[in-house]
Amino acid sequence: MPDTLKSIAVLTSGGDAPGMNAAIRAVVRKGIYHDLKVYGVKRGFEGLIHGEFREMNLGSVADIVHRGGTVLMTARSPEMKTQEGQQKAIEQLRMRGIDGLIVIGGDGSFRGAQALSAQGIKVVGVPGTIDNDIAGTDLTIGFDTAVNTVVEAVSKIRDTATSHERTFIVEVMGRDCGSIALQAGLACGAESILVPEIPFDLDDIITKLRRGHRRGKNHSIILVAEGAGSAYKLGEDLHTRSGFDTRVTILGHLQRGGNPSALDGVLASGMGGKAVEILLAGESDMMTAYVNQEVTGVPLSIAFGPRRPFNRALYDLAGELAI
Ligand code: F6P
C-alpha cells in the first residue's frame, strides 16, 4: 500500500439511487478498517466546491445500509462544469490533506470526477443510477431496485386495468436508455414495451391489442421508457385511432426511492469496498464495475465509451411472449 494515502472523501452526485447509502457505508467502514480518515461531502460537487465536509466515523453510517436515498444528499452542479468550480473543489480537498475522492453517481458525475483526475486528484467513480446506462459495467447501483419497484407498481395497475377493461400506458424512467422498461416489461408481462433504442409503430401496437381483444383479453399494459416519447401523446393517439379506453400513469420519482433490493445492497457494498481498495493500491482515474458477475475496477474513461448494446434478444423474446 502506498504510504501516502491517509485520508479520503466520498460524495454522491446526480440523481439518487437505492443502494447509495450501502455504498457510502462500505467506503466509510472499509476506509476506517484500513486506518484512513474518511470525510463525507454533502450535496455532491456543490458541497465539494463550497466546503461542506464532515469527518465520518463508524456510527455515521450505522443503520443506513437498508435505506433508500443518500444520507450525504445529492445535487446536480453546473459550477463543477467550470474551471473555476473545479479549482475551488481541488483547493477544498488540498486544504484538508485529502488524498483520494470517491464519486458515487452517473456519467454526468463521472465527468466532474474525470476533470479532477486530469488535475492531479486521485479519483474513483462508483456507478450509481437507476438508469443502468453506464458503459463498462453490467449493472449500476439502484437499477435492480427500480425494476422491482416498476414490477410491483404495474401489478397494482393491472388489477384496475383488468377490472375496467382498460389499456394503461405506464411511463418509466431511464433518460435515453430503455433498460428499466425492458427488464420490468418482461418481468411483468407487459403487452408492449416501447424503448428509445427501437422505433415503434402505433399500428402494430393497435393490431396486437385488437388481437388480444378478439381472444377476450380486454386489458393491456404498454410500458414506455421516458426516452421513447410522451406517454400522454401516445395515450391520446391510441385512444383516437383505436377507441380503446386508455389511461396514462407516469411512475416518476417513485422509482428512485425505496429500500435497496438484496442485489443492490450486495452490489453497492462490493463497489464501495472496491473503490477504497483501488485508492489503497495507489490507483486512480478508475471506476468500479460489475463484469461477469464480479465487482472489479476499470478505467474511468470506459464510462464515456460506447454503451453495452441494447439487449435485442430479450426485447424480441418479450414481444414473442406477449403475442
Ligand atoms: O438519471 C436518473 C433519472 O431518474 C432519470 O431516469 C430521469 O430522467 C432523471 O434522473 C430525472 O431527473 P430529476 O430528478 O432531476 O428530475
- Does the structure show a pLDDT above 60 at 2? no
Q: Which atom number of ligand 1 is nearest to the Cα of residue 173?
A: 6
CA 306-288-302 angle, 5° bins = 20
Per-residue pLDDT of 284-311, as tens digits, reads 999 999 999 999 999 999 999 999 999 9
Beta partners for residue 127, in sequence order? 105
Residues 259 and 66: beta-carbon distance below 8 Å = yes
**pLDDT score of 323:** 84
Query: Helical H runs in 167-245?
Result: 179-188, 202-214, 231-242
Sequence-ordered list of residues with C-beta below 8 angstroms from that of 233, at least 6 positions apart, any chain: none
All cell numbers assigned to 218: 380486454
Q: Looking at beta carbons, which pairs linking 236-244 to residues 24 or more positions away fall under 8 Å? A: 237/202, 238/167, 238/169, 238/202, 238/205, 238/206, 241/202, 241/206, 242/206, 242/209, 242/210, 244/166, 244/167, 244/209, 244/220
Q: For the chain, give every domain's residue range.
A: 7-142+260-304, 145-256
All cell numbers assigned to 179: 433498460
**Percent with pLDDT over 70 in the chain:** 99
Rounded mean pLDDT of 42-54? 98
316 is catalytic: no
Q: Which backbone phi and psi does 46 adopt, to 5 degrees? A: -60, -45
State in Å: Cα 250 to ligand 1 middle.
13
Q: Which atom number of ligand 1 is nearest to the Cα of residue 174?
A: 6
Cβ < 6 Å from ligand 1: which residues? Answer: 15, 106, 129-131, 173-175, 226, 256
How many angstroms separate the CA atoms of 146 and 164, rounded?
27
Strand order in the sheet with 167-172: 192-194, 220-225, 167-172, 246-250
Q: Does the model's pTM come out above 0.75?
A: yes
Rounded mean pLDDT of 221-242? 97
Nearest to 134 by CA among 316, 321, 299, 247: 299
State in Å: Cα 94 to ligand 1 middle.
32
Given ligand 1 and candidates 43, 180, 256, which is best to mutate, with the most ligand atoms within 8 Å of its CB?
256
Compute CA 59 distance to the chain's CA centroid, rounded to the nearest angstrom. Answer: 27
Of the pLDDT bands very low, low, confident and very high (cuts 50, 70, 90), residue 4 is confident
State in Å: Cα 215 to ligand 1 middle.
39
All cell numbers assigned to 9: 472523501
Catalogue the E-assigned strands of 112-198: 122-127, 167-172, 192-194
Matching CATH topology for 7-142+260-304 and 145-256? yes
CATH topology of domain 7-142+260-304: Rossmann fold (3.40.50)
Q: Is the dihedral of CA 99, 105, 107, 112 positive or negative?
A: negative
Q: Which atom number of ligand 1 is nearest to the Cα of residue 14?
A: 1
Pick the CATH number of 145-256 from 3.40.462.10, 3.40.50.2300, 3.40.50.460, 3.30.530.20: 3.40.50.460
State in Å: Cα 110 to ligand 1 middle.
16
How many angstroms separate the CA atoms of 161 and 145, rounded?
24
Residue 212 exposure: Cα atoms within 13 Å on the Cβ side: 22
Which residue has the least CA distance to atom 7 on ligand 1? 175
Catalytic residue among 107, 131, 144, 285: 131
